[in-house]
Amino acid sequence: MNKPRKIHKYIIAGGGTAGWMAAAMLAKTMGKEIDLTLIESDDIGTVGVGEATIPPLVRFNQFLGVNEAEFMRETGATFKLGINFENWKNIGEDYFHSFGHTGKDHWTSGFQHFWLAGKARGVANRFDDYCLEVAAAFKNKFAQLPDNALNYAYHLDSSRYAKFLRKIAEDNGANRQEGRIDHVALDPTNGNIKALKLESGEILEADFFFDCTGFRSILMGQALHVGYDDWTHFLPCDSAVAVQTKSVGPAIPYTRAIAHDAGWQWRIPLQHRAGNGLVYCGRYLSKDEALNRLKSNIEGEIISEPNFIRFQTGARRKQWEKNCVTLGLSAGFMEPLESTSIHLIQRSIMRFMRMMPQNQISDADIKEFNEQTFEDMDKIRDFLILHYCVTERQDSEFWRYCAAMDIPDSVQQKIKLFKDTGRVFRKNEELFAENSWIQVMMGQGIIPEAYHPIADKMTDDELTRFLRKIQDNITQTVSKLPQHSDYVRQYCGTKDI
């Protein structure tokens, strides 16, 4: 029989979305090769929000061997094709950031160059009209098409998702321990985490730990003293209030992000209810004002107590330190505007699975893990900043701050390059690809001053036909799609829908 490896015992501290995602993936992938325990405290509970996701979660669930219809039924999920940004550029002006692709590219130049040429010659319609996901979203239509022709993610009930993942984790050998961690014991010889002591007095030792304790960051922040980079000067929202409401009408296949004078409001349609929340900057709006604002802009009867949450946008300075990896809110938080938190949890889990230590932890692994994770976080941060900094709104102190704030050079360069040339380049494995940046920049009113000369190779007739064909195909495809709510009901409807 093989000798047990030195790194064999794993503890996940915290049972929110981060903890159970990690537990499910570790248990499913490694099974009995590891000894896995998750500790969570029912008294403390979870943050209780996080309902909008992005397409890579589809793959995460596939890796877990999840039956999609069952997962959607269990979590009351609906499909999401993107986000409609309302009042961000100016009050009364909207744009859509879809998960799809717009138009058709040439290898030298993206579709936007041909669209810009078409605009200049008066033969192009709105940029959005060449994106299947946007057209389907606005008609409330949806179906799963061959070759993933319609890119989607989910709106889901995150506490139900955690329960769903818990079953996968436990079925694959993970143990759950209820209890409150009140002390983290370090090994004086090397500074590694040795054990977690629970309030009950019980001591749990392990070789490797995951800090999934949410904003408290008990292991990484409190015990290992890993600091936090504050990004509030770029992403000034620091508070949220969330409530659930009864559904009003059929669920739409997209998230709504509605800007207000000190932040923005989300509306996320699930099968059995809707999630709503106001994200705001506490400098410009009080708690009471925020709740009143949310309540007065909400559809449907409120069915939960308001959940107030304070946060600091930023990132923990190390994501892997000693024998501990941090995931979820303990690792950092960039606000929920583009639904990237659950995705970052997923990325770090997958990254860890690829760098799983055998008998000892390599400093090179730690360095690589940290570099790759920061690359992910920095790029997402830049994309979020974009939504705020290019606003034309001047109607409140909050928006005047956003329009005037200093932004990272990397964002400045992306905006300038697009403005001057119409070009966007995706760097490395950056999450948001060219089309995402283009949709948001155009939506916020940045129209390039030039386009690639290859677009002028096309005659007016050729360009008109090229653009019309794309639009006709989209119109035809959308006309055959069912209504989103009918598709959900038939594919994965819950009893409550």
Ligand X SMILES: Cc1cc2nc3c(=O)[nH]c(=O)nc-3n(C[C@H](O)[C@H](O)[C@H](O)COP(=O)(O)OP(=O)(O)OC[C@H]3O[C@@H](n4cnc5c(N)ncnc54)[C@H](O)[C@@H]3O)c2cc1C
Over the window 435 to 474, marking each residue x when it contacts ligand X by CB under 6 A and - when it does not, the resulting string is ----------------------------------------
**From the list 10, 16, 66, 276, which residue makes contact with ligand X (rule: CB under 6 A)?**
16
Judged by DSSP in three states, 408 sits in: coil
Q: Is 181 in the site for ligand X (CB under 6 A)?
A: yes
Is 176 in contact with 191 (CB distance < 8 Å)? no
Cβ of residue 330: shortest distance to ligand X, in angstroms? 6
Per CB under 6 A, contacts with ligand X among 265-284 are 277
Q: Is 426 in the site for ligand X (CB under 6 A)?
A: no
Report residue 274 as tokens. 């809707």
Candidate ranges 9-17, 246-254, 375-383, 443-451; the one touching ligand X (CB under 6 A): 9-17
Q: Is 49 in the site for ligand X (CB under 6 A)?
A: yes
Judged by DSSP in three states, 489 sits in: helix
Report residue 275 as tokens. 């999630």
Closer residue to ligand X in complex, CB, 44/497: 44
CB-based burial label for 429 (10 Å; 0-12, 13-18, 19+)? exposed
Per CB under 6 A, contacts with ligand X among 60-119 are none
Is 143 in contact with 150 (CB distance < 8 Å)? yes
How would DSSP label each residue in 120-136?
HTT----GGGGBHHHHH
**From the list 22, 47, 243, 324, which residue makes contact with ligand X (rule: CB under 6 A)?**
47
Residue 26 CA to residue 275 CA, distance in Å, equals 30
**From the list 314, 328, 443, 448, which residue makes contact with ligand X (rule: CB under 6 A)?**
328
Residue 155 CA to residue 53 CA, distance in Å, equals 6
Is 99 in contact with 441 (CB distance < 8 Å)? no
How would DSSP label each residue in 137-159?
HHTTB--PPGGG-S--EEE--HH
Closer residue to ligand X in complex, CB, 200/359: 200
Q: Is 221 in the site for ligand X (CB under 6 A)?
A: no
Closer residue to ligand X in complex, CB, 280/451: 280
The DSSP call for residue 388 is: H
Q: Is 14 in the site for ligand X (CB under 6 A)?
A: yes
Per CB under 6 A, contacts with ligand X among 132-161 are 158
Q: Is 311 in the site for ligand X (CB under 6 A)?
A: yes
Q: Is 326 in the site for ligand X (CB under 6 A)?
A: no
Residue 480 CA to residue 78 CA, distance in Å, equals 20
- Contact positions toward ligand X, by CB under 6 A? 14-19, 39-41, 44-47, 49-53, 158, 180-181, 212-214, 216, 218, 240, 242, 277, 309, 311, 328-330, 336, 339, 341-342
